[in-house]
Amino acid sequence: MTSQMSDQNSLAFAQQQDEADPLKKFRERFLFPQHEGRDVVYFTGNSLGLQPKTVRESILQELDDWAAHGVEGHFEARRPWFPYHEILTEQAARLVGAKPVEVVVMNQLTVNLHLLLVSFYRPYGRRCKILCEHKAFPSDQYAMESHAVFHTYDPAEAIIEVKPREGEYAIRTEDILAAIEEHKDELALVLFGGVNYFTGQLFDMKTITAAAHKAGARAGFDLAHAAGNVELHLHDWNVDFACWCSYKYLNSGPGSVAGAFVHERHAKSELPRFAGWWGYDKTTRFKMEKGFIAMPGAEGWQLSNAPVFSMAAHKAALEIFDEAGMPALTAKSEKLTAYLERIIDEISATQPGGKKLEIITPRDKTQRGCQLSVVAHGRGKELFKQLLDNGVIVDWREPNVIRMAPVPLYNSFEDVWRFGETLKKALQS
């Protein structure tokens, strides 16, 4: 390792970077679990984000209005519940690079994926296949399998997985494009995670979408690990649909409400869908008449009225993102993740050959967000347990992968340095 890199692996360097960080104030807006009287090093925002301090007040307001108004809270609450989802729309749209008409906050992630697949996976004749990444998140795999079966296809034949090349972990964009071209006459849908949950690879959604459309297929993305992590431009990329959760990088609480995107070109389409009361034209909804009339835009995919308490938490979190802005968060994320990468590389260089730490997330900053996944060669889960016992919360995936995400909203360069010191001690023991 270079002497410069060693100089950077110091508390003084980390503190200098934090002092110069224009986003440093945002750390104070979150609540950290404690270990021996100090904040833990929390690198699991890719699994469950920290709680914003404003969440409690936001939820308590709705509880107070429920107590004060009962059912009339739908119209008399300080934030009336009847149109509650609408107060989230513009902020959520800015977060994913969309127009307000293209976004709705509703349900949960896999529910939204199923609803969107009803509309956008429309197999016919030979054009019946779904192309996806190898080792997609299990919920996505199950959703695709179940829709293939629903349409009477064998998932083993209907679903095409693009795999990494031998000896590699990331999937090359050129191989995705080649697979689309190879199966262009059979594809109904191209469906990828925006960021792969296991490797942390950020896919080129713009290029994939263009290739899918050229092949006559639709393009959709599960943004569970992308929303709030990387800059998104769903409208400009011409994506057909997308969905995401809010409890990871979006810090809205366990199992909180999710989001969905439908491009405006489908806003008034007659796409088949599973209909519900809250997707019905709101100007005549309370006439309670037969015959579904969809609201234009993504709102037309709603089923049920707003889960106000989880939306209250989401509102508090979105306000923070809106203030910070994704361009600034992305700029810090690149620096923070690169610093973590350097420290892991330096520590790995001190390990014997069979026990190196191998970063399997792409090194190219344009192909990743803030997550790094590391294969701990020759080591088992005891390494993860030692980190946890010493105040470092990361994520373990069998058999030997540690996932970690230095989130730019609330993580610091000092957090990264502390992680490195704890990791060195854990490896020594």
Residue 126 lies in a domain: yes
Q: Which of 267, 295, 323 is the last residue of a domain?
A: 323
Do 251 and 166 share a structural domain?
A: yes
Do 307 and 166 share a structural domain?
A: yes
Average pLDDT over the chain reads: 96
Instruction: Determine the pLDDT at residue 158.
Output: 97
Residue 52 lies in a domain: no
Residue 170 lies in a domain: yes
Q: What is the pLDDT of residues 56-70, one digit of tens each?
A: 999 999 999 999 999
Q: Which of 291, 323, 355 is the last residue of a domain?
A: 323
Give the model's confidence band at 267: pLDDT under 50 very low, under 70 low, under 90 confident, else very high: confident
Q: Domain containing 123: what range?
A: 59-323
Do 145 and 243 share a structural domain?
A: yes
Residue 44 lies in a domain: no
Residue 48 lies in a domain: no
Do 248 and 166 share a structural domain?
A: yes
Instruction: Determine the pLDDT at residue 7.
Output: 77
Do 405 and 311 share a structural domain?
A: no
**Nearest-angstrom CA–CA distance, 314 and 400:** 33
Residue 46 lies in a domain: no
Write out the two tokens for 360: 């399997």
Residue 289 lies in a domain: yes
Instruction: Determine the pLDDT at residue 380.
Output: 86
Mean pLDDT of 248-267: 97
Domains contained in the chain, number: 2
**Cα–Cα–Cα angle for 361, 402, 52, rounded to 5 degrees:** 90
Q: What is the pLDDT of residues 312-326, one digit of tens each?
A: 999 999 999 999 999
Do 423 and 353 share a structural domain?
A: yes
Q: Which of 282, 306, 323 is the last residue of a domain?
A: 323
Q: What is the pLDDT of residues 324-345, one digit of tens each?
A: 999 999 999 999 999 999 999 9
Do 152 and 281 share a structural domain?
A: yes
**Nearest-angstrom CA–CA distance, 396 and 382:** 10
Do 279 and 396 share a structural domain?
A: no
Do 424 and 308 share a structural domain?
A: no
Do 379 and 424 share a structural domain?
A: yes
Torsion on CA atoms 204, 101, 95, 317, rounded to nearest 10: -140
Do 148 and 85 share a structural domain?
A: yes
Assign residue 200 the CATH number of its domain. 3.40.640.10
Give the model's confidence band at 106: pLDDT under 50 very low, under 70 low, under 90 confident, else very high: very high
Residue 124 lies in a domain: yes
